Amino acid sequence: MGRVLVVDDEQSMREFLAICLRRAGHQVSVADSGAAGVAQLEANPTDVVVTDLRMPGDLDGLGLLEQVKQRRIDTEVILVTAFATADTAIAAMKQGAYDYLTKPFKVDEINAVIGRAMEKRRLIAENLALKDQVAGRVRLAQLLGRSRAMQKVFELIGKIHSTRTSVLITGESGTGKELVARALHTEGSRSAAAFVAVNCGAIPDELMESELFGHMKGSFTGAHADKPGLFRQAQGGTLFLDEIGELSLGLQVKLLRALQERKVKPVGASTETEVDVRVVAATNRDLEAEVARSAFRQDLYYRLNVIEVRLPPLRQRREDVPLLVEHFVRRFTADQGKELRGLEPAAIKRLEEYDFPGNVRELENIIERAVALAPGPTIGLDDLPVLRTSGARAQPGADASAPFPDDGVDLDRLVYDYERGIVQKALDRAGGVRKRAAALLGISFRSLRYRLDKLGFDRPPDAEPDDPD
């Protein structure tokens, strides 16, 4: 069922059609001229227009159809004519009418045509919605990603952006934690209010309290005026506490209080002020481990970590690399006013195999540099820095007895690939227990740990205790 507009200069015809169509369950409005019809279409969304072909005035049925198409009004047009000549029918269809009917027509006939037009509208709408869904999957706010892992992140953001619950964003450096914090804000119900970001590692501890909670004039040397503090600046909005792991234990207590009471007490003030702020925190540290060694308060950890958004490192979502590359190439060619056609397949492949210890930020820097250096028209391998590629995809165990290739080798890369391959095999053999793997390789646990970092292996989430070798 849909919204139908009937346009006819003859009152009896308008009424007849209106009654039939309402009976069929449609929502019907009427207009008595082509011009009145256009005005109604502009004002109200309409699925289907049924218009008489011959009408006095400036706009007849074909004129109305032409206006609909010209103004890109989103509706299907059905023409009704008493004299169906092949000419008018052809003209109508050429101009994009959905169909035409000849008078006298039966009620069933008009219902069937309108039903088909509605069905077409429904299919188009469904198709658009699907396209939106697909498009939405590779982008959320400024965040790009088509990998399953990133889609999960998008879904989670979609579920929680408008709640007030605290969120902890974790992930290695450069994985996009700040972008996630901003997306939570801009996508959510607080987007009209402020997004206030503070880097807890960048502000000296003595200043942090007044920074967060504000102070009263004269409360300490240098406090020349009242200061609202970041919590109150973020009133109604979001406070992003970046590098939360750097916050001193003393301030952790005060922050916990503010979160629990939803009130802040400026330095030197005697009363507390209520605040309505959503707190989003981020860290690239393993906060759980910090809690275990009492460097981070457990109660605050639980308060912040009500919902965790965990950003996987880029090497665990390599499918996202081409998408990000395209995005950064577009951005930096525009920034630098260069015209480049993108990366050559070999260069893309090299990037897809690389481990990106610096994650998306590192990829971003690589592309910025390549865009600046590339003579054009494309970006090739030569425009990339030397990237040590992991053996995860390359063949482990380069064969030294193989004949030396005519065009030479990349020794560093061969050694790297070999080492990674062997270490991986040892880890597999040891069932992932690193101490056992170290023994199998005849090296110390500490040496293995060093190599794992160097070779771009992931740290296991539950780090084994240090081995005092």
- Per CB under 6 A, residues contacting ligand ATP are 142-145, 171, 173-179, 284, 324, 360-361, 364
Question: Whose Cβ is closer to Mg ion: residue 310's or residue 349's?
Answer: 310
**Under rule CB under 5 A, which residues in 316-335 are in contact with Mg ion?**
none
* Among candidate residues 301, 306, 298, the one with its CA nearest the CA of residue 278: 306
Q: Which is nearer to ligand ATP, 102 or 151 (CB)?
A: 151
Question: What is the total count of residues that contact Mg ion (CB under 5 A)?
Answer: 1
User: Which one of the spans 142-150, 176-184, 330-338, 366-374 is the region binding Mg ion (CB under 5 A)?
Assistant: 176-184
The nearer residue to ligand ATP, 141 or 216, going by C-beta atoms, is 141
Residue with tokens 């195999």: 353
Using the structure block, give the residue that is written with the tokens 């290739």: 405
* CA–CA distance, 401 with 380 (Å, rounded to integer): 31
Binding mask 136-175 for Mg ion (x = CB under 5 A): ----------------------------------------
The DSSP output letter for 114 is H
In order of 25, 383, 404, the CA distances from 408 in angstroms are: 77, 20, 7
| Residue 298 site contact among Mg ion, ligand ATP, none (CB < 5 to 8 Å, cut-off depends on kind) | none
Of the ranges 178-186, 335-343, 359-367, 446-454, which one interacts with Mg ion (CB under 5 A)?
Answer: 178-186
Residue number with CB closer to ligand ATP (180 or 384): 180
Which residues, other chains included, contact 105 with Cβ-Cβ below 8 Å and sequence gap of 6+? 80
- Smallest gap from Cβ 144 to ligand ATP, in A, equals 4
Closer Cβ to ligand ATP, 227 or 317, answer by number? 317
Helix (H, G, I), strand (E, B) or coil at 406: coil
Residue with smaller CB distance to Mg ion, 113 or 169: 169
- 246 lies in the binding site for Mg ion (CB under 5 A): no
Residue among 283, 246, 247 nearest 172 (CA): 283
Q: Pick from ligand ATP, Mg ion, none: which does 174 bind, CB < 5 to 8 A by kind?
A: ligand ATP
- Rounded Cα gap, residues 460 and 454, in angstroms: 15
- DSSP per position, 61-76: HHHHHHHHHHTT---E
CB neighbour list of residue 8: distance below 8 Å, 6 or more residues apart? 14, 17, 30, 32, 51, 52, 55, 80
Residue 345 CB, shortest distance to ligand ATP, in Å, is 22
- Nearest one of 429, 431, 434, 436 to 457, comparing CA atoms: 434
Nearest-approach distance from CB 289 to Mg ion, in angstroms: 20
Residue nearest to Mg ion (CB): 178
Q: Contacts by 35-42 with C-beta closer than 8 Å and gap 24+?
A: 35/59, 36/7, 37/5, 37/7, 37/64, 38/64, 38/67, 38/68, 38/71, 40/5, 41/5, 41/68, 41/73, 41/75, 42/71, 42/73
Among 9, 99, 178, 344, binds Mg ion (CB under 5 A): 178
Q: Which does 145 bind (CB under 5 to 8 A by kind): ligand ATP, Mg ion, none?
A: ligand ATP
Q: Which does 179 bind (CB under 5 to 8 A by kind): Mg ion, ligand ATP, none?
A: ligand ATP
Q: How far is the CB of 165 from ligand ATP (least distance, A)?
A: 20
CB of 395 to Mg ion, least distance (A): 36
Of the pair 86, 135, the CB lying nearest ligand ATP is at 135
Chain positions 346 to 365 lying near Mg ion, rule: CB under 5 A, are: none
Q: What radius of gyration do the chain's Cα atoms show? A: 33
CA dihedral (130, 133, 137, 138) positive or negative:
positive
The rounded distance, in Å, linking the Cα atoms of 173 and 364 is 13
Binding site for Mg ion (CB under 5 A): 178
